[in-house]
Structure 1
Amino acid sequence: MDGAEARADDITLEAEVRRFLVEHPGLVRDDPSLLSELGLKPADNVVEFGHAALARVHAAHKHEASIRQQLEATARENYAAQGQTHGAVIDLLESRNHADLARRVDDLAQLRFGLLAGVVALEGPENTPAGWRVLVEGQVDMILGGHQRLHAMGFSPTALGLFGERAELVRSMAMVRLAIWEPARQGLIAFASADPEGFTPDMGAELVVFLARVVERTAERWPVL
Structure 2
Amino acid sequence: MQRRILIGAGIIVAIILLFKFCDFKKEDDSTVDYNTNLIQQQIVNVGKLVVTEGHFAEVITYKDQDKYLMDMVSFEKKAIVIVNADVTVAYDLHQMKYDIDEKNKTITIKNIPKEEIKISPDIKYYDVQQSQMNPFTGDDYNKINKIVRANLAKKIEKSSLKTNAQNRLISELSKMLILTNTMGWKLQYEGNLIEKEADFNQKIKG
Higher relative contact order (CA 8 A, sep 6+): 2
Q: Which of structures 1 and 2 has the bigger CA Rg?
A: 1
- The structure in which a higher percent of residues are helix is 1
Give the TM-score taking structure 1 as reference length.
Answer: 0.31
